Structure 1
Amino acid sequence: MAQLFRRTAAAILSLGSLLLLPGPAVAQDVYPSRPVRIIVSFAPGGGADIMARLLAVPLARELGQPVVVENRAGGGGVIGTEACARAPADGYTLCLGSTTTHSIVPHLQQGLTWDPIRDFTHITNLGFQPNVLAVNPNLPIRTMPELIDWARRNRGAAYGTSGVGTSNHLAGEYLSRQFDLQLNHVAYRGGNLAQQDAAAGQIPMVIDQITAMLPLIQSGRLRPIVVAGSRGRSALLPDVPNITEGTLPDFRVESYQALFAPAGLPPAVVNRIYTAVVNAVNNSDVRQRFVEMGTEPVLNTPAEFSAYLRETSPMYQRLVEISGARVN
């Protein structure tokens, strides 16, 4: 009888131990088991918002869960970026970051509570959006050497951009410093206003993203001189040379849109998200839609993207210092 009691007690204890073991169906859900959100740090209707919404639909199919775009605009992208950095690292909060939020603002603005390298998991660079330098068509400028010669003879010539600290602004500063042009930066409240003034002859030149410039270029009201990027010529302006073609072979000031998550995301979840994003872009019309927006898809691996951010960070820091731009 005592032996039977001991066997029964041992069986009960063994069963209890098994119940306490962390089983995958009990203690850990298979990712993802609920909706995923993508924070966009800018207002609805902009380029980042459009890209996020284009991606969300096929990404939801790949993940098997809804993907919701949440706009958290304000502070030049700081508010939404901080919300992403402070979210749980569980894969259910992603964010669309850019050259502005993750390469420029950290060197431009004091008092940030997050670091673009330390406080984020770098998923992938969705694509580069090259800028275009264009001039008023009444100017005797058709090539980059002609622009450099004209600017040296017209010291203090102005170029307009969509604002202080943007990739457009820093591209202009880089160009000005490299060739000692002493260009004068004019910051507008929007790139469209800078374009309109350049077309009207109020300023001689403008730098803005390629898709934003296309209507005025195609109508002949602006003349494109170079595509400012490092990825070669754009399919949208195939006859316009890239700035790396002889002028500045090492030019790296580029506008990117990329996918981030809070730091500490488990490697298995990182791989799941990255694979789903690549499939979402390549197995749908999203890639073509990106190209039509002037975006050159990249989709590099998390390791490659992280290396890119670390490599280019010192360059952006120097350019911000050179520009004299500062936001307190």
Structure 2
Amino acid sequence: MPSNRQQIMMIFIVLLAGVLLFVTLRSAIVQKTYEEKALTEPIGYRMVVDGCEGVGRGHLVSAAIWSNRDAEIVRVEILYRQKGQDDFLSVPMQLVGTDDRWVGELPALSMGESYSYYITAIDGAGASVSIPPSAPQEPLLRTRWESPVNPWVQLLYLTLMIGAAVFLLHGVYYVLLILFGRMGELAQKATASRAHQSVRWGWLTLFVAGIVLSTYLHGAALGVGRGWGGWPPGHNFADIRTEVLLLFFGIILLVRWDLFRFSPTRLRKPRFSNAIFGWLVLAGAILTLLLYCFPPRLFVQTGV
């Protein structure tokens, strides 16, 4: 059995993984906000981005934009384009009310289509600002037209994805026991079998959620052939993250299929040791964190 220090280390690693997964889930739910409130800047702003719109409606863009000096905001406009277009079109934004709220509307698109856009504002003294600050270079703001999908299927998808993460964390706990615990060969093989079982159930859960349900949800929301490219190679890097993980863990599970059922009397020699199996599962857990807890643009430029 592992020492107290090893147990503390394992608990810390598992809790850290859980926190990172929670942050990922939260980032998927909370809307992105752009803001500049420093009084030293000539123009301040705050904008909450809504990345999707219902089919048949124009997309309302709203932002609070104000001047930090004796100059009024004289012009605010949205510059937008569809995927594959080089030139931006523009639509003016209007001041609404007395709280520095500027509003403009992007023309409606068909299901699954999207705009990349940004906002520019100019004050009476000639100062200007862009939202986001990187505009007109990537990354820009984006909105996509989607149809409503069955909320129960969405709930099932979310539940299964969380379940896959729980199974993986359970498997990580067992492989940490293998790697850092002091146990005999028989106990190590039994623990490796438990890790194999946890990862196996996680693989199955991820397949149902990430392939079957994801295909249905994207097809219902965006139309068949849009949004989710599948394998190979997908429309962008985010499309194939699930397939990469399924392939990685699937190979590990198949190569160590002798762990499917633990038997103390089975003398079949494995293709690689339990320790190597543990390190591979741990590497897969780290790969999962990299693929799902960090924006894909950190690794590969994604499409619209």
Structure number with the bigger relative contact order (C-alpha 8 A, sep ≥ 6) is 1
TM over 0.5: no
